[in-house]
């Protein structure tokens, strides 16, 4: 039973069965762009996520934080159906994009991923492609040939990723020849080029130095104006700096979810408090 169903089916009746109902009281649920309902996932027989219900507000940044092994990466990989590409991966529950379940039968996972883009932990530009081709990859691989369109998209995406000024003179250079931070911003540009609605970021700065991290965070603050962003991080300061909402996961379960400032200043759960004060994790 999930939040939406409870609202439809009568709040009071269900509340005893499900305590998680009131887990994110600060959220205006009407504005949810993306929502999970009792999402369970794992590999083979081991269950990593034990039923997570969360909603992500449109044009905001939501941070998913938690100690290593809490399932945050598995969780975010379920949101654009990348998780299921891993051999042996299992998933159940619902993920709603604008109210439509992306795991429903007959839903094209390829179309889902075009609407929900992803940035990975390790920068993964295509090594045999130039900076230009990397930024244009999503369009080119989907058959766009029009040079004018491509030029436009490449420039716009690279600008949005705060990378244009650094690479505009060397668009023909291999994408793999850039620095780590530039590579990651190239990957952000690549994801933006296909004009997704949601951007998932799986610890996008964990392999980068503080300067490169700052640039990524700067880009995120701009992107928030147009995109719904979900970021996984094990860096508490980063979660506090960039996000509007924060969810705390522990051992595959959602412990607490709320407005970032409130959650950090006044955590309701003891586990959350212990985590953000550095007592474990």
Binding positions for another protein, rule: CB under 8 A = 80, 82, 85, 87, 110-115, 117-118, 120, 122, 124-129, 137-138, 140-142, 174, 176-177, 187, 190-191, 193-194, 196
- What is the chain's percent helix, strand, coil content, to nearest 5? 40, 25, 35
Q: Nearer Cβ to another protein, position 128 or 149?
A: 128
Residue whose tokens read 């212990």: 274
Residue whose tokens read 């950090």: 264
Q: Nearer Cβ to another protein, position 36 or 80?
A: 80
Q: Structure tokens of 51?
A: 């039923």
Helix (H, G, I), strand (E, B) or coil at 215: helix
Residue whose tokens read 């109210």: 99
Q: Counting every residue, how long is the chain?
A: 281
Q: Nearer Cβ to another protein, position 70 or 118?
A: 118
Q: Nearer Cβ to another protein, position 61 or 178?
A: 178
Task: Tell me the closest approach of the beta carbon of residue 174 to another protein, in angstroms.
Answer: 6
Task: Tell me the closest approach of the beta carbon of residue 7 to another protein, in angstroms.
Answer: 32
Residue whose tokens read 């490449």: 154
Q: Nearer Cβ to another protein, position 128 or 221?
A: 128
Task: Tell me the closest approach of the beta carbon of residue 85 to another protein, in angstroms.
Answer: 6
Task: Tell me the closest approach of the beta carbon of residue 199 to another protein, in angstroms.
Answer: 10
- Residue 18, judged by CB atoms within 10 A of its CB (0-12, 13-18, 19+), counts as middle
Contact 95, 117 (CB under 8 A): no
Specify the pairing of strand 228-233 against strand 198-202: parallel
Q: How many helices (H) and strands (E) does the chain have?
A: 12, 10
Q: Nearer Cβ to another protein, position 138 or 252?
A: 138
Q: Nearer Cβ to another protein, position 60 or 134?
A: 134
Task: Tell me the closest approach of the beta carbon of residue 55 to another protein, in angstroms.
Answer: 22
Task: Tell me the closest approach of the beta carbon of residue 170 to another protein, in angstroms.
Answer: 15
Helix (H, G, I), strand (E, B) or coil at 176: helix
267 CB-near residues (< 8 Å, 6+ apart): 256, 273, 276
Task: Tell me the closest approach of the beta carbon of residue 13 to another protein, in angstroms.
Answer: 40
Specify the pairing of strand 228-233 against strand 61-65: parallel
């Amino acid at each position: 039973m999930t939040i939406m169903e409870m609202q439809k089916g009568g709040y009071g009746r269900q509340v005893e069965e499900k305590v998680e109902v009131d887990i994110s009281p600060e959220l205006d649920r009407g504005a949810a762009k993306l929502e999970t309902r009792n999402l369970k996932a794992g590999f083979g027989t081991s269950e990593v996520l034990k039923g997570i219900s969360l909603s992500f507000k449109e044009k905001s940044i939501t941070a998913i934080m938690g100690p290593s092994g809490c399932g945050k990466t598995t969780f975010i990989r379920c949101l654009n159906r990348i998780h299921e590409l891993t051999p042996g991966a299992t998933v159940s529950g619902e993920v709603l994009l604008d109210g439509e379940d992306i795991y429903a039968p007959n839903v094209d996972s390829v179309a889902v991923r075009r609407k929900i883009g992803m940035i990975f932990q390790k920068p993964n530009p295509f090594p045999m492609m130039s900076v230009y081709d990397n930024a244009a990859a999503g369009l080119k691989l989907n058959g766009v040939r029009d040079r004018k369109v491509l030029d436009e998209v490449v420039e716009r995406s690279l600008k949005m990723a705060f990378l244009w000024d650094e690479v505009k003179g060397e668009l023909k250079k291999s994408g793999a020849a850039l620095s780590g931070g530039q590579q990651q911003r190239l990957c952000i540009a690549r994801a933006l080029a296909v004009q997704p609605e949601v951007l998932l970021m799986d610890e996008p700065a964990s392999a980068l130095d503080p300067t490169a991290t700052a640039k990524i965070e700067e880009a995120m603050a701009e992107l928030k104006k147009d995109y719904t962003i979900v970021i996984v991080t094990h860096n508490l300061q980063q979660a506090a700096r960039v996000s509007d909402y924060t969810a705390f996961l522990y051992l595959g379960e959602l412990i607490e979810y709320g407005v970032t400032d409130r959650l950090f200043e006044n955590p309701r759960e003891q586990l959350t408090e212990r985590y953000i004060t550095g007592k474990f994790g």
